């Protein structure tokens, strides 16, 4: 489902957290929202999901203009997994937490098993989510939101507190959601892990959108490095390596870089699409 | 001087659960910065809690072995400060501003007001949250809250500062900057940090301890410990991953003396540049 912000501003009491943000993302895309601490990323997700209402401007999800709609109605379009898992957990067992969407919203049939599988949660279904270690609590909240089966899924810092192993599970979930056509919007500082999955980017700085659009268009721009540095997120390590190796365009993972090097040596410089390799892996 | 020393230390959260720490032998010296890495569930947070003396609060916990805490300079117990993985729970919200929230940690130590004021402004500068000083702690973003909790721990000037994934919500610029701050801090206090970020480890750690299933599988200078542990436990820098992949595909420079992991950025780039 499509996401569209038109001149959206949001003010908490007196503090303006988003200023005149306009952006548009097509259905089925994977979008990364990046920016410095306090730049307005979480606020953006909460507006999309409807917990917060724009002070000014208009948000459209698919064909639905969110203005005047109830939060519960909007939650059927966009589920949100919170930055702090403990703000989200509410059920007595992992199973209940994961089934909430299916039982109450009536969406996402058949999703439960796939999500339990993908996130390796089967052995924890009977546990109290609060008794689990941090990484698992995060996986449970991500799984719970994904199991709502909404056409748009918003994840706030999905890799924070995850180690390599759970990040791989998350990667599999992202590939699965991509195949289902879900629009996934993620706030993250973990560009090294998530950039290979991204189609589009939204770059926020002090509440303003510095860039929105295709990931590859951001990185092809001459000012990409400057733009990202000024936004407090630095230039991602794989992109830096790509330019040190004189690759024509930045690559975003070790696999992509090695692939580009091979092509370059074979005399061609066309780059490969990292996602397909990842999905195949 | 040793601050904490663990001998054959094992700990289970309940009588029936497998040990979260299993036969740990570990000494932590003053002014040393030790980073603990490993997959989640490997025991990083438990080690942090045990060393900070907080595991006693788990009613069903059982342990074996010895944990010895040395005395501080004047014969007092070494003082420990901690930032928990779930740092949100550490903000008291008893105070209306960030500055007062941080001051609270000093007041609990019984410091005179003047000293408190001095330490609070020092910690605020160090963590670069001057712009938040007069804000309400209730109305901050996730990363802003994490910085406030870190500043409060620093203001307490403990002999040992324990940080459980202190960077989890920070933007890359803050991560790089605070890595430098922690490197400075180890002149004043010992640091025990649970963290998997390889860039941070290489910058800040004097010593890296790698845990797997409650056991120490490597302990030493970071390069050595990384080389000795399996890549399955550790995140490695982007350039290291590239060289490993290129080695696998046989496209690195031919005369490369292949170490298991190339951790040096310049050497990695030159290895990747290949034959010509
Ligand atoms: N409840 C609130 N009341 C007032 N101001 C708030 C509130 N929550 C956040 N803010 C402020 O709004 C701005 C944007 O916050 P937001 O949480 O969206 O940032 P963020 O980009 O998600 O940051 P982080 O990376 O630290 O999570 C910040 O200046 C923050 O201090
Ligand atoms: Mg946030």
**What residues in A contact B175, CB-CB < 8 Å?**
189
Sign of CA dihedral B126, B127, B132, B134: negative
Residue A90 contacts residue A130 (beta carbons within 8 Å): no
pLDDT, residue B92, reads: 86
Starting at the edge strand found earlier in the chain, the sheet holding B21-29 runs B21-29, B2-12, B62-69
Ligand 1 pocket residue status of A15, Cβ below 6 Å? yes
Q: Do A161 and B39 touch (CB under 8 A)?
A: no
pLDDT in tens, A124-181: 999 999 889 999 999 999 999 999 999 999 999 999 999 999 999 999 999 999 999 9
The answer to whether residue A102 scores a pLDDT higher than 90 is: no
Residue A281's pLDDT band (cuts 50, 70, 90):
very low
Residue B239: phi, psi to the nearest 5? Answer: -65, -35
- Domain ranges in chain B? 2-77+191-273
**Parallel, antiparallel or unpaired: strands A200-205 and A208-214:** antiparallel
For the record, the structure tokens of A136 come out as 């698992």
Residue B190: phi, psi to the nearest 5? Answer: -80, 150
- Angle, helix B98-107 to helix B142-155, in steps of 10 degrees: 30
What pTM was estimated for this model as a whole?
0.93
The answer to whether residue A279 scores a pLDDT higher than 60 is: no
The fold adopted by the segment(s) B2-77+191-273 is Rossmann fold (3.40.50)
For the record, the structure tokens of A123 come out as 């052995």
Token match 């306009």: residue?
A22
Please report the atom of ligand 1 found closest to the CA of residue B145.
Answer: 26
Nearest CA in chain A to B147: A37
Is A13 an interface residue toward B (CB < 8 Å)? yes
**What residues in B contact A86, CB-CB < 8 Å?**
86, 88-89
Is the ipTM of this structure higher than 0.90?
yes
pLDDT, residue A218, reads: 96
Ligand 1 pocket residue status of B141, Cβ below 6 Å? yes
Residue A235 contacts residue A241 (beta carbons within 8 Å): no
Residue A128 contacts residue A99 (beta carbons within 8 Å): no
Residue B227 contacts residue B261 (beta carbons within 8 Å): yes
Residue A129 contacts residue A91 (beta carbons within 8 Å): yes
Average pLDDT, chain A: 91
pLDDT in tens, A21-76: 999 999 999 999 999 999 999 999 999 999 999 999 999 999 999 999 998 889 89
Residues of chain B with pLDDT under 70: 71-75, 231, 253-259, 275-276
Average pLDDT over residues A234-262: 94
Average pLDDT over residues A247-262: 93
pLDDT, residue A275, reads: 44
Q: What is the C-alpha separation between A53 and A59, in angstroms, rounded?
A: 9
């Amino acid at each position: 489902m499509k996401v569209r912000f038109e001149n959206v501003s949001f003010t908490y009491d007196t503090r303006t957290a988003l200023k005149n943000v306009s952006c548009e993302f097509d259905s089925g895309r994977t979008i990364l929202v990046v920016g410095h601490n306090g730049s307005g990323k979480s606020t953006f997700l909460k507006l999309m999901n409807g917990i917060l209402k724009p002070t000014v401007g208009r948000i459209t999800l698919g064909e639905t203009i969110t203005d005047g709609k109830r939060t519960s109605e909007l939650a059927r379009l966009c589920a949100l997994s919170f930055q702090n898992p403990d703000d989200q957990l509410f059920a007595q067992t992992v199973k209940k937490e994961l089934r909430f969407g299916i039982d109450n919203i009536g969406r996402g049939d058949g999703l439960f098993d796939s999500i339990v599988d993908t996130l390796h949660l089967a052995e924890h279904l009977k546990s109290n989510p609060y008794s689990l270690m941090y990484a698992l609590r995060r996986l449970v909240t991500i799984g719970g939101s994904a199991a709502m089966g909404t056409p748009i899924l918003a994840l706030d810092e999905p890799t924070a507190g995850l180690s390599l192993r759970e990040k791989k599970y998350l990667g599999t979930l992202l590939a699965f959601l991509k195949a289902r056509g879900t629009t996934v919007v993620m706030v993250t500082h973990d560009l090294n892990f998530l950039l290979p999955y991204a189609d589009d980017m939204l770059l926020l700085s002090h509440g303003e959108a510095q860039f929105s659009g295709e990931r590859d268009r951001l990185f092809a721009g001459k000012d990409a490095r400057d733009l990202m540095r000024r936004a407090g997120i630095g230039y991602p390590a794989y992109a830096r390596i790509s330019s040190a190796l004189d690759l024509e365009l930045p690559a975003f993972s070790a696999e992509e870089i090695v692939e580009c090097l091979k092509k370059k040596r074979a005399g061609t410089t066309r780059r490969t699409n990292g996602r397909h390799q990842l999905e195949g892996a | 001087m040793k601050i904490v020393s663990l001998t054959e230390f094992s700990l289970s959260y309940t009588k029936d659960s497998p040990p979260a720490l299993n036969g740990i032998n570990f000494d932590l010296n003053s002014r040393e910065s030790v980073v603990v890495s490993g997959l989640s569930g490997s025991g990083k947070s438990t080690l942090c809690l045990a060393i900070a003396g907080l595991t006693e609060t788990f009613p069903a916990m059982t342990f074996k072995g010895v944990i010895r805490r040395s005395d501080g300079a004047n014969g007092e117990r070494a003082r420990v400060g901690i930032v928990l993985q779930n740092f949100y729970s550490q903000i008291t919200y008893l105070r209306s501003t960030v500055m007062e929230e941080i001051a609270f940690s000093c007041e609990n130590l019984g410091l005179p007001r003047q000293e408190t004021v001095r330490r609070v402004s020092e910690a605020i500068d160090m963590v670069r949250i001057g712009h938040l000083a007069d804000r309400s702690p209730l109305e901050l973003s996730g990363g802003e809250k994490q910085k406030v909790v870190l500043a409060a721990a620093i203001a307490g000037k403990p002999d040992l500062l324990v940080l459980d994934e202190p960077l989890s919500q920070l933007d890359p610029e803050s991560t790089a900057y605070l890595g430098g701050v922690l490197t400075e801090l180890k002149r004043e206090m010992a640091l025990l940090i649970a963290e998997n970020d390889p860039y941070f480890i290489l910058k800040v750690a004097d010593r890296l301890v790698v845990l797997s299933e409650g056991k120490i599988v490597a302990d030493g200078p970071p390069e050595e410990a990384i080389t000795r542990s399996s890549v399955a436990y550790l995140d490695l820098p982007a350039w290291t991953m590239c060289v490993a992949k290129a080695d696998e595909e046989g496209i690195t420079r031919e005369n490369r003396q292949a170490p298991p992991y190339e951790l040096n950025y310049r050497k990695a780039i030159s290895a990747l540049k290949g034959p010509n």
